[in-house]
Structure 1
């Protein structure tokens, strides 16, 4: 079942026309299904109040839809977030008589310079997304899978349930998963994808996992469930930080 995860960065009125509203916290999900093809639309509904809302939405996405209705600091921040996350595929929609010449300098040398321009029409947008989703191939593999948690809760009669997207490999019913970073174990009791039961889920699939052996209160957003022994939890990260060209100050210890 091919699934496409889409970061929708624009007014809520258009998102509501695209799919059925699902889970909503600081991120709102809209779900669409046609045959075996599914779309998951992710909206940062608490942005710009919470920058993390934008970050989480973009970090889960395969592509982005950006609705531009004003030239503002919010637009600039959104462009930088998409570029930093490397979301190379997407489209933009112009409103309020804004023309492409006004935004072209803002998109230059970013991933957005390759985005398609679409009319402000939910029917056209929906068909464009269905076409892309239909062309996507689900990579089935025997490799162990990993799922970062974006929501977790207790369901009466079922127990602990988490929502997330499979980032790599394949998750199967009855898999024993390590919960990073706390190190506890949890068993996959069942898997659902867009309200349908499934025996397994692979990279790109949006899933709900019912878990055995762990409580919802033990979990948090950003925890990772994995059967991959190569994944470890550590208090230290070693690597290189790359600053965007528009940040004028060097990195310093204790900087937020």
Structure 2
């Protein structure tokens, strides 16, 4: 049975990101988020690169919130993009490392006050095996019909899934059954967390799945209204009753943010989503000189 982990490689230098990813795996999918794989016995590492970043901040936020580990290449002459990447990784609170020719003490000084200041500084990416945490969800990025098979979805597992399991499709709220499972074109009876999957589904039509972004287990709580503590970066601004993108588990949902007090907010979302450990707050229309990464919310 396969298990694995998901890693994002990100930098203002796109060519360096590509070289690092090639060191960790082989390119298999060249979409808006490129996916590299490396398989070793039952372990599979998936490496993500948000191809259109910095132009598309949400692509980067979605990739990083899918990942438990981030590899950040920092050039010797950092730009505003590298500062934004540092905020993005820090907001997501994932583990990681910095690859750079800059001295470690310079990097620590540059990112002082951010969790990323404690990342190890290395010359080449670490080769390691980990397993994603079981969150009770499966992230979905595509849905299509295969002749003779039916509706098929692809994505990443963040829970153990078996053939014939019944899951709920979000946001449509419909129960679907796992008809079959494929990993790297091989049929499987079961997968563990951290794996790029293809599921054939029963009890659903293609048009019902086209806007689906998650499959979840029945015990997972979902809501359109979430109350939580907000952390904002010192140089960002937050607007009461403002509209923002809230990102978790690879999913970006628009919503309105209401300030309850200086540290507490309530967000009203356009779609029901699982209540995650934290939500990144993204302002895609931030004014020049202000970061698009506003901060994050931890539900209470």
- Judge same fold: TM > 0.5, yes or no: yes
- Aligned partner of 1:58 in structure 2 is 64
SS in 2 for 1:242: strand
Change (3 A) 1:8 1:79: same
- Aligned partner of 1:110 in structure 2 is 114
Q: Distance in 2 between matches of 1:67 and 1:201?
A: 32
Q: Distance in 2 between matches of 1:192 and 1:176?
A: 17
The CA RMSD measured in Å over matched residues stands at 2.5
- TM-score, normalised with respect to structure 1: 0.81
Query: Which of 228, 240, 243 is matched with 1:252 structurally?
Result: 240
Which deviates more from structure 2 when the two are superposed, residues 16-25 or residues 62-71? 16-25
Change (3 A) 1:203 1:152: same
- Aligned partner of 2:232 in structure 1 is 243
Q: Distance in 1 between matches of 2:108 and 2:165?
A: 48
User: Which has a greater percent of helix?
Assistant: 1
1:128-147 to 2 correspondences below 5 Å = 128-129=126-127, 132-133=128-129, 136=130, 145-147=136-138
- TM-score, normalised with respect to structure 2: 0.70
Change (3 A) 1:185 1:241: same
Q: How many residues align?
A: 237
1:1-256 to 2 correspondences below 5 Å = 1-10=2-11, 11-12=14-15, 13-14=18-19, 15-69=21-75, 70-87=77-94, 89-95=95-101, 98-120=102-124, 125=125, 128-129=126-127, 132-133=128-129, 136=130, 145-168=136-159, 170-220=160-210, 223-232=213-222, 234-247=223-236, 249-256=237-244
SS in 2 for 1:71: coil
Q: Deviations over 1:118-160 (max 9, x none)?
A: 224xxxx3xx32xx20xx35778xxx94212133333343332
In the alignment, structure 2 segments of 5+ residues that lack a partner are 245-300
Quick check: 2:138–2:156 contact (8 Å CA) kept in 1? yes
Q: Distance in 2 between matches of 1:217 and 1:255?
A: 28
Give the superposition deviation at 1:55: 0.4
Quick check: 1:29–1:43 contact (8 Å CA) kept in 2? yes
Give the superposition deviation at 1:94: 1.4
Q: Deviations over 1:7-63 (max 9, x none)?
A: 111334312343222233221111111222211001111111100110011001010
Quick check: 1:31–1:194 contact (8 Å CA) kept in 2? no
Give the superposition deviation at 1:217: 3.2
Quick check: 1:149–1:221 contact (8 Å CA) kept in 2? no
Quick check: 2:6–2:132 contact (8 Å CA) kept in 1? no
SS in 2 for 1:57: helix
Change (3 A) 1:195 1:112: farther
Change (3 A) 1:23 1:251: same
